[in-house]
Every structure is written in C-alpha cells, then in structure tokens.
Amino acid sequence: MPADLDPLLFGEIDPPQRLLMGPGPINAHPRVLRAMSADLLGQFDPEMTGFMNQVMALYRPIFGTQNRWTMLIDGTARAAIEAALVSLAAPGETVLVVNFGRFGLLLTEILGRVGAKVETVEAPWGEVVPMDAIAAAIERVKPKVVATIHGDTSTTMAQPLEGFGALCREAGALSYVDATATLSGMEIAADRWGVDIVTGGLQKCLGGPSGSAPITISDRAAEHIARRRHVEEGIRRDDIADGQGPRIGSNYFDLAMIMDYWSEKRLNHHTEATSMLYAARECARIALGEGLEARFDRHARAGRAMTAGLRAMGLTVFGDDAHRMTNVTGVYIPDGVDGEAVRTMMREQFEIEIGTAFGPLAGKIWRLGAMGYNAMKHKVLLTLGALEVCLRMEGHPVPLGDAVPAAMEAWGD
C-alpha cells in the first residue's frame, strides 16, 4: 500500500476552497454546512418528527404545491427519480418519456429496469420537445405514465411544462417531472402544471450537498401508490392495510411505505438521514427567506450575465436561446483549444471548476453554472475573467477585458 493510502496517515478533512461553477454540485451555503453540525435525534423523537413536519411545510412552496405528501428521499437526486418511477409504473405498463438529453435517457434506463414498456418523444440535444409533439405521442402510445426532465443540465435546456399535467390527466396518465437542476432556481409549479410527482436535489440551485432529495406527490398519485402498498412482514400493523395492486419492485424506494413513515402513522422504514434532513431544512429556509421570486430573478441575472460575458469573448453559446436554463450555460470550446487543458488551468490557477459535457457534446462544449450560493455577480465575473486568461494562455486569441463589463451590464445593477 502506498504511504499516502495508509489510513492512519489521513489527516483531518481539509478540502481546498474551490469555486464550483459547473453544472453542479456547487458550493453549499455556509448556513447549510453549519446546520449539519447539529446534534442527532432518535428517529421517532417528537422533536425529530417535528422537524420532518417542518420540512414538509418548507418544501411545499418550493415545489409550488399544496400537496400533503411533500418530503425527502434519503439518497441523491437520482434516488428520488427511481423512487417516483418504480412507485408510479408497474412492469408491463407503457410509459412515455420526453427525451431531450442525458437525463431523459436516464429516465428510459430506470424505467427499463422497472420493466415498463418505454416509448419516447424526442428532441435533438439543445432543443426542447414541443407540447403538441408530446400531445401527439400521448395520443399514439396511450401511456399510463408520462415522465420528463424539467431542466436537463446535459443540454442546458429547460422543457416548458405549462399545460403538461392537464394533457396527461386528460389522457388518464400520471405525470412525473424531474426538477433536480432547477428547483428553487427557476419556477416549479407542480400544482399549476398539474403534475403528479416532482423530485429535486439539494446540490444545484438549493445550495446544499448531494444526498437528500425532495419529492412532492399529488393526492391522486398517492392513492395510486397506496393501491400498491405492501408493508414488510417485520413491521406489519393492523392500522395499515396492504393494497391490491402489484407490489412495488423496490423496498427502499417504496413510496407507499415512505409516505406511511412521514405520516402520523410513523411506520418504521429506513432511519431518516438526520444531518441531511437538517441540511434540506436549512436550504429551504434560506430559499424562502430570500423569496422565491427574488431567487429566480437572481438566477436569471446570473445566466444572462454569464451568457453575455461568453459572447463578448467571441465564444458561441450552445443551444436554443428561448429555452435555456437560467442557471447553467453551455458554450462551444473554440476550435484548436484543448477543453480539458483549460478546465485544468481554471482549477489549478484560479481554483474555479467549470463543467465538461456528456455524450454527443463531450469535448465540444463546456458547461458553466451559476446556481444557488454561486449565482452571484462577483462569482460570475471572476469566472469570466479567469476564463479569458486561460483561453489566451491556451493560445486562443480572445479580447481581454470585454467579458466582465458585458456581464455587469447584463446583470443589470
């Protein structure tokens, strides 16, 4: 074993202070980091269940909903996606996926493992799917569930969702939206959209660490899922009856049991991840304290400033302007520039991280995020100034000094 992997030689945790301006994770708000230092509680301690109830109340406005079932899944954002899909869709059922990027592909992947019959309606990476194409696909495949990503960071596009839920309901389908990358950064209107389940994560616009995933579930979806309830033999109770529908294919992601855990029944399921719950609670307190409208505006300004700065450098921004996410911007790597060399220089010389890309965009674009605690004017300006320098040092002749004033102007005050 090399000496640096001798466990007794590992020192106190001491990460460098990097500015994370990629597509997430981003730096957590210091209040969130401090909240995780609070002492733990037993999982059925009245103080603990009180905090759980507070979290439910805190996330309702963030999801734009009155849904009773608004809570946390104990895992990363991907865990909540799987919990939603495995609980909504049964094996053999047809599910329509609105696919316009890597995370749309993730939905198809998870649903394939669930055993659903997966159909897709697609757009090229960098575009979104028109609502009439979704309507036509619903008409064609007659799905039981329709699933989509809101903001797909792989392409930086945000799918418009006004009317989406109504379209699904009219066709008798349940609907699912992944809002991991946009929750508290762009408006999420679960109730107005009429969507049945929306999930998120803390590590993007909410400014927390990955590891806890907010979810909201409509009463309609909750009833559907309750019909699939199957309580573990070791903890069965007279007051919780099993449903008649097909058992959900995962125990950990069984939303029926998770709802019973978060209800006044307090059915024992997992042991709630207490420190992450404290983090999620603080993320939401910060977001609501700022005000959601102000927060959306801050993200919009950051996105406008980043885009304006990149364009002032002479770079080409990726994708459709009309549907760009406010909190992450794709930009083409100029011809002849080694994208990874620039990213390394950004990190090593400036302690700033910018993002690479996936699939058809790998090696073609960088992704620059400005979200949550990092959607701030000075962080956008510092990033743009550093990128100019790195591009020139990598031999690409950008004009020095144009990006920052353009970004300041686009920010607006």
Considering only residues 343 to 382 of the shown chain, the ones binding a copy of itself according to CB under 8 A are: 347, 353, 358-359
Token reading at 204? 């993007």
Which positions from 174 to 213 touch a copy of itself by CB under 8 A, shown as an x/- string? ---------------------------x-x-----xxxx-
CB 317 to a copy of itself: min, Å: 22
CA–CA distance, 256 with 236 (Å, rounded to integer) = 13
CB 201 to a copy of itself: min, Å: 8
CB 385 to a copy of itself: min, Å: 20
CB 4 to a copy of itself: min, Å: 9
In this structure, the chain runs to a length of 413
CB 310 to a copy of itself: min, Å: 20
Contact 71, 215 (CB under 8 A): yes
Residue 103 binds a copy of itself, judged by CB under 8 A = yes
Rank residues 36 and 171 by Cβ distance to a copy of itself and give the closer one.
36
Contact 83, 215 (CB under 8 A): yes
CB 142 to a copy of itself: min, Å: 24
Contact 255, 243 (CB under 8 A): no
Rank residues 14 and 132 by Cβ distance to a copy of itself and give the closer one.
14
Contact 136, 168 (CB under 8 A): no
CB 249 to a copy of itself: min, Å: 5
Binding to a copy of itself, residues 214-243 (CB under 8 A): 232-235
Rank residues 114 and 391 by Cβ distance to a copy of itself and give the closer one.
114
Binding to a copy of itself, residues 255-274 (CB under 8 A): 268-274
Nearest 5°: phi and psi at 178?
Answer: -90, 115
CA–CA distance, 368 with 306 (Å, rounded to integer) = 8
Token reading at 349? 């010389």
Q: How far is CA 251 from the centre of its chain?
A: 23
Binding to a copy of itself, residues 285-344 (CB under 8 A): 285, 288-289
Residue 240's SS3 state is coil
CB 74 to a copy of itself: min, Å: 5
Ramachandran assignment for 372, one of left (phi > 0), alpha (psi -120 to 50 degrees), beta (any other): left
Binding to a copy of itself, residues 104-133 (CB under 8 A): 105-106, 108-110, 112-114
CB 353 to a copy of itself: min, Å: 5
Q: How far is CA 313 from CA 83, 234, 362, in A?
A: 43, 63, 22
Token reading at 336? 């002849």
Rank residues 343 and 396 by Cβ distance to a copy of itself and give the closer one.
343
Rank residues 41 and 389 by Cβ distance to a copy of itself and give the closer one.
41
Rank residues 292 and 300 by Cβ distance to a copy of itself and give the closer one.
292
Binding to a copy of itself, residues 23-52 (CB under 8 A): 24-28, 33-43, 45, 47-48, 51
Binding to a copy of itself, residues 275-294 (CB under 8 A): 275-276, 278-279, 281-282, 284-285, 288-289
Residues 6+ apart with CB under 8 A from 300: 326
Size of the site for a copy of itself (CB under 8 A): 99
E strand map for 224-313: none
Residue 248 binds a copy of itself, judged by CB under 8 A = yes
Exposure b/e, 255-293, CB count within 10 A at least 16 = b: bbbbbbbbeeeebbbeebbbbbbbbbbbbbebbbeeebe
Nearest to 218 by CA among 399, 355, 331, 70: 70
